[in-house]
Amino acid sequence: MYQECIMLLKERGVLVDDIAELTHWLQGPYRPDISLAACLKSVHAVLKKKDVQHALLTGISLDQLTEKKALPTMLQTILEQDQPLYGIDEILALGVANNFGTIAITNFGFLDRNKVGVLKKLDRGSEGDHVFLDDLVAAIAASAAARLAYR
């Protein structure tokens, strides 16, 4: 399932290297010596957790179903508009971050507010519906950064 998740991310325009760059951006101010390679290793460790894989499969599937207009009408409308009061995308992402402690949760909130790197591209939605994916990518990067912070 790990390789499947990496392929799904790539199909949606997200490389593992993109997530490592977000992780590096988060950790850099606190650990100037941190290498991009260490961040990449941490991202892979996060992606190997079953809970993370399940969240990715769920979120990406919902984004894909939104693009295909295959959801019940009310949910379809909510996701197409990415309505601000719909918070299930953040809840799914917080489930990922919660596996890695409070630092991951606060990192996620910071990234969710400050769309940088690949998150900015995903948030604009120019290449598909990414209601869930932008939050999940932020949570993975936040979690990888937390793993490094706790070490």
d(C-alpha 114, C-alpha 100), whole Å: 20
> For 71-103, what is each residue's pLDDT tens digit?
999 999 999 988 889 999 999 999 999 999 999
Report the chain's mean pLDDT, rounded to a whole number: 94
Cβ(139)–Cβ(93) below 8 Å = yes
d(C-alpha 81, C-alpha 45), whole Å: 33
Residue 123: pLDDT over 90: no
Close Cβ partners of 126 (under 8 Å, ≥ 6 residues apart): none
Residue 142: pLDDT over 90: yes
What percent of the chain lies above the pLDDT cut of 90?
A: 87
Cβ(108)–Cβ(94) below 8 Å = yes
Cβ(20)–Cβ(39) below 8 Å = yes
Residue 4: pLDDT over 80: yes
